[in-house]
Structure 1
């Protein structure tokens, strides 16, 4: 064991992470093959499911459609005259990159897992760089292991989803803030904004970061150029966050096209619910799930409030989280607030929590080997649970990733 540990330490981080990442992808591939074998006639994928059909399942179909035919100029309507689910809910960077790679490697279904897996590996490298200075090489390497192996959503690193690419841009942007390489933000922010929703949370994070730096200016010199960069990049993130709805409205001729498109997914859960009101989706979801679970709505709301309070205490007071640095803590707080404001909690909740992955660093800090191995084993088990539920089963409203 000691000789193996010494050999691992002697490897360059990029090589060690590559070996770890390849092993994690082999585990996920095995799980997907198992899910394909277990898929039955009631599953969305049928009894003849394959690794390829699972890889290109669910939202991957929308990205494939965008790469093939672009976005509709006219919004589709359902039988009641409401805007139906359509491609405008999905940002263009991932399908554009994957479509271009597909011309070289033999099609979008081949390119999609390659792009996702490559972005995932690069994200692992950036996560190691982001955490290494804060928590040390060993803990940072364990955090990368949890990131690539553990947790329900590790499969996203090789599915036709945009999450791993968004995670790459996000981690690069956080690294730029951590190391104060401000010019890089003008590249990473637009890429992030047009890969997946969430850049408005980054704008909020930069605003909070600017306030924090201002309050500490006597202990940490704040140059005028830094103020200019923080303000400019924060405004850029806000502008990019609202740009896609504007583009959608211009192309379709309907100013509310993007918002109505997003609400179409919520309508499939709770029917016609009116327009968008910040934080209302969280309340509506509490009522929905309380009915499904057969418990009072106030119990769901109280549980949610307890989770929010606990998360706040961890971000503010927990010494392990504090060691990750202010940018990660502020990003985590801003992103949770963003989700509470705009998201309707449902079966995609685990997937929407992936941008909180830098917090794996806090999980990796306890040095006890039994703790780290236990987290890894539990995370791998959770990954199998998610793949089996969403792909081998995939037959009910609550089994949509």
Structure 2
């Protein structure tokens, strides 16, 4: 996908064939192109199925921008007194400084229902940083920016721009031998710097920069056909979890903030990208073979009629998936939120918004111990 590609305004709206988990054999390193299979990063999904919208598990109650700011006010933000702009431009809003990053135009409205400002977005990312950073820091990023808000054009970006606090540039060589510049963040300041530049969504590679050719996070996105009942999607989640359980692979659940759920598997960084991607594909194929009327492993829309696409494609080198705790660039300020397995039937895919995510920070972390799992592909 070309750099800085503009996006239109977002719409309203049998396992025995797989190797078991265990000690992973030594693998040769894969070398796919850095931008391959970036399906999540044309990162809009179609509108949420009506059934999900009517689900009893409505989004956790949205709050005003003021209450969002209050919930995250202890996150290192400093409000300085209002001043007068130079050149007779009139009164300038007070400065907002978070983690040493000055937020320009903090009162600019980014989401309208509920009202969420640019300052609120920056405060949000500072507030969730303790939980979010382990899944984001030192992973190559693709981001979605909406500098004028989600009702205006947004764009996708995967190459670095001007230097910013906490944002690090890294060269990555593709299979063709060409080297391109990519970027990652390494601190809370990096999250806030991206928010200052209008970033709403963070999408990450499945590997860290220090082990770039050995991925350690496998993601399956259950992407339903239009109009599918939410209970069908939830059954798909449990079917997939069951197969992973049979393979002795512990998995974690999060909302997509769109129309499906994501199942995430932490792994030791030992397999090559080819082995990693091939394993994910085989899991999806087993789902399709076992329940051909429910699931497909084929990315083509025409093959998806009345079924759920088990999206394994994001597990290739250069592909990305939306990060835990990331906002989604669509109406409602939804969040891709880690949830407990016990919450599957009470939290809809769009069931957590920014205010709900902040409220959840006071509860136990449902993904506690994620990176302590010592499991691999055998």
TM-score between both structures, scaled by the size of structure 2: 0.29
Task: Kindly indicate whether structure 1 or structure 2 has the higher relative contact order, using CA contacts under 8 Å at least 6 residues apart.
Answer: 2
The structure number with the bigger radius of gyration is: 1
